[in-house]
Amino acid sequence: MRRNRKAKIIVTLGPTSSDSKSIRKLFASGADVFRLNFSHDIASAHTKRFKEIRSLEKKVKRPIGILMDLQGPKLRVGKFENGPIFLKNGKRFIFDLDPTPGNKYRCFLPHKEIYKKIKKGNRILVDDGKLTLIVTKKNSNYIETKVKFSGFISSNKGFNIPNVISHTGKLTKKDKEDLKLALKLGVDWIALSFVETAKDVLNFKKIIKGKASVLTKLEKPIALKNLNKIIEVSDAIMIARGDLGIETPLESLPSQQKRIINACRQAGKPVVVATQMLDSMVNYPTPTRAEASDVATAIYDGTDAVMLSAETAIGLYPNESVLMMNKIIEKVENDPLYLNINEASHVKAESTAEDAITESAKYVARIMSAKAVVTYTTSGSTALRAARERPDVPIMGISPNLNTARRLALVWGVHCIHTKDARSFKDMVLKAGRLAKKEKYAKKGERVVITAGVPFGESGATNVLRIASVDRY
């Protein structure tokens, strides 16, 4: 199954989208990568979802990416005994160290360090700022607040105190347990939360030892100061706008988004825009006009992927949300303005044979009216290089490594194909043409442009460019 777009869609699974039928529908509607959010649900639920995705992958015979999102040291409230509680302006509410389920008067806040650092007058933001409270009293095990802006509070919702708590990048006990499970299952990507420095990423990579690719989440102001170094050591970047929009001035978020996307484009690293993209579709079958524009803006900016969170995890319209995002992306990518912006933001190639060949492939495909750029890739580097060029035509990423093919599901423009490696130069050309026809990218007599590294089967340099006519051999 091929997509009629180049930007990818990441879909979060949850209570409303966990059975095999739901996952199959979400994939058919446009999901390229499935996200397992370990901030919610128990390990067995995520294991079941993982197995359902891999079962679907075998049925559709197409690599599907799986992203595991670590909770990280994010502050969260405890559980509530009777579901969500609405807190009105002016209401008194207590946070304490009592593990008893919360009610309309108080709730458990299991983070002892907060009680030492928080001060009277500090703002508390719950659920990405949907509820705002002001601290009125405190002691070593008790925080009394007054609601400033009404909103709901419920089990395990995020808890932010801007400019008070700094995260260290260390894994929590829960993170370590979840990570062990994820690596055992064989996830393709791991999202690392609350990164502050490049060292945080490097230390994490030492732990996972290449068993998965690292998607670094930008959520803290200090990370933006270390942006280029963090991008350099990461496999991909996520603009996690929930926490980032709380920890930094909200009015600066749009410009920061553009800055991060541009920096990732320059570095040739995939970038994901996330959080509240179609948020109203949690409860309604259509998004707001502003949300549709938000998704479109991310695509115009050049993001590799956009992500749905609550919309598909707990929303009433998960499938409709994916279909809507798919339609928005397709519409933008067929806009002449998008094509012009894409060309204007072209990344300057480095003075290497690999970059020279990959950039040439883009223009050769245009001149020759080729239907696709075909990349043979073992590690994924050739396909990533091709995606960095943003060619006019789709990229067929052919790999003998299934893990590589799955990870490439996140990357702009890359249609992943897992197959045996080419045995010879002639076999390479023949296989490229046959797969281009099979995947409906090219018809008999039409051309494709092929890039590869010779000798075959070795990870490394891209040193071959070939124009091939489908069915010539």
Q: Residues with catalytic annotation?
A: 35, 76, 217, 275
Q: 67 near 33, Cβ under 8 Å?
A: yes
Using the structure block, give the residue that is written with the tokens 């609405």: 86
Which residues, other chains included, contact 47 with Cβ-Cβ below 8 Å and sequence gap of 6+?
Answer: 181, 185
- In three-state secondary structure terms, 8 is strand
Q: Which amino acid would we find at residue 5?
A: R
Half-sphere exposure of 117 (CA within 13 A, CB side): 13
CA distance 416 to 225: 34
Which residues, other chains included, contact 130 with Cβ-Cβ below 8 Å and sequence gap of 6+?
Answer: 151, 152
Report the candidate in 432, 467, 464 with the shortest Cα–Cα distance to residue 451: 464
CA distance 303 to 259: 11
Q: 297 near 2, Cβ under 8 Å?
A: no
Record the tokens describing residue 37, joined without a space: 């959010």
CA distance 107 to 138: 15
Pairing between β-strand 159-160 and β-strand 123-126 as defined by DSSP bridges: antiparallel
Longest dimension (CA), the chain: 79
Q: Which amino acid would we find at residue 432?
A: A
Which residues, other chains included, contact 225 with Cβ-Cβ below 8 Å and sequence gap of 6+?
Answer: none
C-alpha dist (Å) from residue 408 to 168, 213, 273 = 30, 10, 17
CA distance 173 to 178: 9
